[in-house]
Amino acid sequence: MAKNDRANFGSKIGVILASAGSAVGLGNIWRFPYETGNNGGAAFILIYLGCILLLGLPIMISEFLIGRHSRANTARAYQVLAPGTPWRWVGRMGVLAGFLILSYYSVVAGWTLEYVVEAVTNKFSGKSAPEFIESFQKFSGNPFRPIFWLILFLLGTHYIIVKGVEKGIEKYSKIMMPTLFVIIIILVACSVSLPGSEKGIEFLLKPDFSKVDSQVFLSAMGQAFFSLSLGMGCLCTYASYFGKDTNLTKTAFSVGLIDTFIAILAGFIIFPAAFSVGIQPDAGPSLIFITLPNVFQQAFSGAPILAYVFSVMFYVLLAVAALTSTISMHEVATAYLHEEFGFTRGKAARIVTGGCMFLGIFCSLSMGPTKDITLFGMGAFDLFDFVTAKIMLPLGGLLISVFTGWYLDKKIIWSEITNNGTLRVPIYKLIIFILKYIAPVAISVIFINELGFLK
Ligand code: PFF
């Protein structure tokens, strides 16, 4: 596609919903609760909120302005703005990070499809907590079923990607996001009304700072980047489809708010329910797949039809939330291959889908059949998650903030943030200050501390 006939999102709400669609996904409903559980609860959440405000939002605005100004895929964007410099490697690293995340993320996205089928065929009915644990273990340890769902999920993502930006990404996001929100609210109400749920609420609200160490900071920062889809050029790529009148600061705040709100609500579904049935909060990646089916059974024990309807709706929407995120990751790599190597969009998409299937199979097997094969003590799934969320995304964020704060012409930043002087953005100076000093220092300190140099 030539530079000026690139596709565009058709409406303002489409811009926000598509970006929020990328941000809201398994990161909020699956990863946020288990990271919160593994890192001690409320204190982790507070640090996470700090990371969203201080690092996430300014870096999101950076990605937006880099993407919209260059109107190019993330790797090309740096070539347009900083020709002939090594900055293009920031974009390239982002493409690689997106590709790796898509590979293991699709494994969990595939699990949601299995749970849609279980919900539709009423398999949850009458099961107890230990039975849910056992059936999850059986499923994830099976060599074939998770791979089947992984492949199906990637094919669904592929289908939407080849349909293009406005008809594909925007249309689906507009319907799915609001529906997801409504059902989440209903589930919070159910979960907090379960007997014994108070302990879960306390876990979310009462911080215990004695458990906070450098690992908690790294996890919270990684989760903030992961959840906001930052540090890998995803929102930069989406912003290349934004119109000239999109208010970048407002869009970033809307996306950040929606994303954070949904993550916190997901916490209020999972933990009250987990404590209520005695499931440990640090159960890890399986947490939502064992607690949630339980919530439906217990909350609606007197009305099985409601249990049935809500579980079907929830897993369908979870799959959909995952889909709006997988298409955004897929788009990064597809736009890159299409625009940089001259492949047709279809061929570029096929390469990405095929590559992710290949890597995804290893990740999937590492959750069961090959779980004893490890590197640095981690199987493929955990290793991909660690390297991308805890290293590549924060590193990408660090470089993006340095690029915008120190390298990029301030006139470009000003004209993008204020839409050529037509918008008043009172926090303009604050954004620049954070990008220049706070974000680079904070991310570096967290990295260095975690590597042990300050211990
Ligand atoms: N933000 C997505 C989620 O929370 O599920 C995951 C994600 C999407 C990460 C896109 C990175 C990305 F570029």
Ligand 1 center from residue 299 Cα (angstroms): 30
CA 199 vs CA 169, 277, 284: distances in Å: 40, 11, 19
Is the CB of 258 within 6 Å of ligand 1? Answer: no
Q: Whose CA is nearest to atom 7 of ligand 1?
A: 229
Give the whole-angstrom CA distance, residue 164 versus residue 167. 6
Any ligand 1 atom below 6 A from CB of 26? yes
In the reported structure, the alpha carbon of residue 221 is separated from the centroid of ligand 1 by a whole-number distance in angstroms of 14
What is the distance between the alpha carbons of residues 34 and 27, in angstroms, rounded to a whole number?
10
Structure tokens belonging to residue 274: 């987990």
Ligand 1 atom closest to the CA of 231, numbered from 1: 13
Q: What is the pLDDT of residue 371?
A: 86
pLDDT at 6: 59
Which is the closest atom of ligand 1 to the Cα of 393? 11
DSSP lists the bridge partners of residue 378 as 375
Name the residue of 329, 385, 391, 400 whose CB sits within 8 Å of the most ligand 1 atoms, as the mutation to test its pocket. Answer: 329
d(CA 420, ligand 1 centre) in Å = 30
Count of Cβ atoms closer than 10 Å to residue 357 Cβ? 18
**Who contacts 199 (Cβ-Cβ below 8 Å, separation ≥6)?**
275
Ligand 1: distance of its center to the CA of 101 in Å?
8
C-alpha to C-alpha distances, 84 to 78, 79, 80, nearest whole angstrom = 9, 7, 9
* 20 CA distance to ligand 1 middle (Å): 10
∠ CA 299-305-311, nearest 5°, is 60
In degrees, to the nearest 5, what angle opens at C-alpha 293 toward C-alphas 292 and 299? 85
Cα separation of the two ends of the chain: 51
**Cα–Cα distance for residue pair 123/107, rounded to 1 Å:** 21
Q: Report which protein residue has its CA nearest ligand 1's atom 9.
A: 229
Whether 227 lines ligand 1, by a CB cut-off of 6 Å, is yes
212 CB-side CA count, 13 A: 14
CB 98 near ligand 1, within 6 Å: yes
Question: pTM to 2 decimals?
Answer: 0.93
For the Cβ of 56 lying below 6 angstroms from any atom of ligand 1, the answer is no
Q: Which atom of ligand 1 is nearest to the CA of 233?
A: 13
Q: Which of 52, 221, 261, 328 has the most ligand 1 atoms within 8 A of CB, as the residue to mutate?
A: 328
- Residue 325, ligand 1, Cβ within 6 A: yes
Q: 27 CA to middle of ligand 1, Å?
A: 6
Kindly report, residue by residue over 75-107, the tens digit of the pLDDT: 899 999 999 999 999 999 999 999 999 999 999
pLDDT for residue 280: 84
Cα R_g (the chain), whole angstroms: 21
Which residue has a Cα nearest atom 11 of ligand 1?
A: 229
Element (DSSP H or E) covering residue 19: helix 12-23
210: CA distance to ligand 1 center in Å? 30
Q: How far is the CA of 369 from the centre of ligand 1 (A)?
A: 27
> Which 8-state DSSP code applies to residue 4?
G
Q: Is the CB of 329 under 6 A from ligand 1?
A: yes
| Residue entry with tokens 């930052």 | 230
Residue among 100, 112, 227 whose CB has most ligand 1 atoms within 8 A, to mutate: 227
Q: What is the pLDDT of residue 4?
A: 44
pLDDT tens, residue by residue, 387-425: 999 999 999 999 999 999 999 999 999 999 999 999 999
What is the DSSP secondary structure assignment for residue 286, as one 8-state letter?
Answer: G
Residue numbers of the chain with a pLDDT score lower than 70: 1-10, 164-170, 172-173, 452-455
Contact 395, 93 (CB under 8 A): yes
Does the beta carbon of 232 lie inside 6 Å of ligand 1? Answer: yes
CB atoms within 10 A of CB 282: 15
> Ligand 1 pocket, 23 CB below 6 A?
yes
Is residue 247 helix, strand or coil?
A: coil
Nearest atom in ligand 1 to the alpha carbon of residue 25 is 5
Beta bridge partners of 375: 378
The number of beta carbons lying within 10 Å of the beta carbon of residue 225 is 29
**In angstroms, what is the span from residue 226 Cα to ligand 1's centroid?**
5
Closest CA to 289 of 99, 102, 146: 146
Q: How many Å lie between the centroid of ligand 1 and the Cα of residue 389? A: 10
Question: How confident is the model at residue 144, as a pLDDT?
Answer: 94
Picking from 117, 121, 124, the residue whose alpha carbon sits closest to that of residue 152 is 117
What phi-psi label fits residue 373: left (phi over 0), alpha (psi between -120 and 50 degrees) or beta?
beta
User: What is d(CA 73, CA 78) in angstroms, rounded to the nearest whole number?
Assistant: 9
